[in-house]
Amino acid sequence: MSFAARARRLSETANITIFEKGLFIGYANCGIPYALGGIIQSDEALILQTPESVNARYNVNVRHNTEVVGINREKKTIDFKTRDHPVRSVAYHKLILAQGAEAFRPPMKGSDAPNVFTLQTIPDLTAVKKYMSTHGSKSVAIIGGGFIGLEAAEALHALGKQVSVIEYMPHVFPPVDQDVAEPLHTEIRRNHVSVHLNARIQQIVPAAEGGTTSHILLESGGKIPGDVVLLVVGVRPRVHLAEQAGLETNRFGIVTNAQMQTSDPDIYAVGDMACTTNMITQNQQNLALAGPANRQGRLAADHIFGRDVAYRGNVGTSACKVFGINVALVGPSMSNLRAQGIEAEYVTVHPPNHAGYYPGATPLSLKLAFSPTDGKILSAQIIGKDGVDKRIDVLATCITAGMTVYDLEHLELAYAPPFGSAKDPVNMAGFVAANVLRKDTEIIHAEDLTADTLSEYQVIDVRAAGEYVNGHMKNAKLLPLNELRKHFDEIDKSKKVLVHCQVGYRGYLGYRILKQAGYDVYNLDGGFKTVSQGAFNDLIA
């Protein structure tokens, strides 16, 4: 649709036809989980365009319920069929493949049962809704804890269903790191939705004859109720037609150049089916995001109508609301960077979203990855209540601009008490990261510690006594920051010191004091808060 609209704006005389296998064009599939739960009250609200409206406004011919079954690149024709007509052919000058991706259905015993659904299209939505209402389904098991699974969990819980999320990985929302994702588990469970991690499904056990209660059997023996089962474990590019036509593909989708042309220059591929370049890693990737898809369609039209354009690649900016918490990222997580062999350092900060003295301030956790050589920003992961999407968009802009952590120190962001702080969380992350690169502080990450290695350090907790008693690190000695200068006699100069506070700042002050006093000292990145959020329980006393 982005292609068609832009193409028509550039040419009133072009003959533009859209072939759509199903009934719907131009609908908002990002809204489907919300329509399932009634947060979006009418399914029709998702339908942004109809064949009629598109034709009236853009003079574009829409053939819906029409499947394209073949491409003849030599003759430059496509073959299509409808329910009522056998295969016919039509010629093209330029062909745009915008078939998207399809919900992945992993091989799984019982996954063909009538109570198992994917949730990608309006027909999917309609089918699940109809099944739930016909069968009076009380429980829903959601297989997959990604975007759709988490959004659906919230929506179905709001409908009063008993909801379970089943995730194969050690944490939900796999695009982010374990330590970033941990608060999601707490939030989901706090809302009485169960979460099963590292879960291996043995089978989906269908309802007994005439019954409506089904369940999922885990390899561990666990049984998870699932009158309805949603299979939302990601999507795969629809490459079948392109492969049949001999277009180049790889494991990320259809290979395209910067003009979105496939290996056949008269055929373009855009959106979820196209393989594109990650702007940060320069690696190929498949990205199923609406924003890039829209821009690719627009860009293909520009190119066909003679504009000098180039797609710059993606940074992978995304966000997800999970009950009262928002999580967002741009760029590859630390584990993803490591998997790609990209050298990266990171820092974690936990500042409030706006001035702490103004009512309603809530903390953010921001994990910023950057190049240890030149400070270039590689990725950011943020979790919190308000202001998460703002900071991820600012950092996505920084990454796109090729900025470094030093640039973040200078960034001038809006501050009034309801909106931010004189030092915005983005500035704070920049300060901390730049301190690390300038060696004004040396940090240790919780993930690099174990209960064993922790004993190699003198662990100095510089928080107040009241914070210490509410939970502290193993072997930690309490020495509140304001007392630290008076108690050097209690710290052994021959042994490494691990100093820490709640979120990192007082630990940093403690580091500066001890370092200048001649200690071999390290500050714990993200402080006790990072340790206490679930991923590092073995470090807690």
Per-position x/- string for 466-485, each x denoting binding to a copy of itself as judged by CB under 8 A, each - no binding: ---------------xx--x
| Smallest distance from a copy of itself to CB 101, Å | 16
Q: Is 258 in the site for a copy of itself (CB under 8 A)?
A: no
Does residue number 193 form part of the binding site for a copy of itself (CB under 8 A)?
Answer: no
Burial class (CB in 10 A: 0-12, 13-18, 19+), 351: buried
**For residues 82-141, which are near a copy of itself according to CB under 8 A?**
none
Nearer to a copy of itself, 393 or 447 (CB): 393
Cα gap 493→514, rounded to integer Å: 10
3-state class of 2 per DSSP?
A: helix
* Phi and psi torsions of 89, nearest 5°: -120, 155
What distance in Å separates the CA atoms of residue 47 and residue 64, rounded to the nearest whole number?
Answer: 14
Tell me if 28 sits within 8 A of 323, measured CB to CB. Answer: no
Query: Per rule CB under 8 A, is residue 520 in the interface with a copy of itself?
Result: no
Q: Give the C-alpha separation, 372 to 357, whole Å.
A: 35
In the complex with a copy of itself, which residue's Cβ is closer, 81 or 295? 295
Size of the site for a copy of itself (CB under 8 A): 82
By CB under 8 A, name the one of 97, 233, 293, 476 that touches a copy of itself: 293
Find the shortest distance in angstroms from Cβ 172 to a copy of itself. 15
**To the nearest whole angstrom, how small is the minimum distance from the Cβ of residue 465 to a copy of itself?**
15
Q: Which of 412, 448, 452, 489 binds a copy of itself (CB under 8 A)?
A: 412
Report if residue 465 touches a copy of itself, rule: CB under 8 A: no
Nearer to a copy of itself (CB atom), residue 314 or residue 532: 314
Q: Are 25 and 53 contacting, i.e. CB atoms less than 8 angstroms apart?
A: no
Nearer to a copy of itself (CB atom), residue 196 or residue 354: 354
Which of 22, 30, 105, 186 binds a copy of itself (CB under 8 A)? It is 30
Footprint (CB under 8 A) of a copy of itself, residues 309-368: 312, 314-321, 326, 328, 330, 355, 357-359
Give whichever of 333 and 532 is closer to a copy of itself, judged by the CB atom. 333
Paired strand residues for 82: 66
Minimum distance from residue 492 beta carbon to a copy of itself (Å): 20
Q: Quote the least distance from Cβ 245 to a copy of itself, whole Å.
A: 28
How far apart are the C-alpha atoms of 454 and 215, rounded to whole Å?
Answer: 43
Between 217 and 355, name the residue whose CB sits nearer to a copy of itself.
355
- Assign residue 107 a region (left: φ > 0; alpha: ψ between -120 and 50; beta: otherwise): beta
From 120, 128, 123, 126, select the one nearest 101 (Cα to Cα).
Answer: 120
Using the rule CB under 8 A, which residue among 17, 59, 77, 335 binds a copy of itself? 59
* Distance in angstroms (rounded) separating the CA atoms of residues 503 and 482: 16
Question: Would you call 198 exposed, middle or buried from its count of C-beta atoms within 10 A (0-12, 13-18, 19+)?
Answer: exposed
Candidate segments 23-31, 114-122, 209-217, 529-537, binder of a copy of itself by CB under 8 A: 23-31
Query: 512 burial class (0-12, 13-18, 19+ CB within 10 angstroms)?
Result: middle
Is 57 a binding residue for a copy of itself by CB under 8 A? The answer is yes
Give the residue with the Cβ less far from a copy of itself, 11 or 111: 11
423 makes contact with a copy of itself (CB under 8 A): yes
- Measured distance CA(454)–CA(129) in Å, rounded: 52
Residue among 229 and 403 whose Cβ is closer to a copy of itself:
403
Name the CA radius of gyration of the chain, rounded.
27
3-class DSSP state of 182? helix
User: What are the Cα distances from residue 275, in Å, to 249, 272, 285, 310?
Assistant: 8, 8, 6, 15
Question: Does residue 392 touch a copy of itself according to CB under 8 A?
Answer: yes
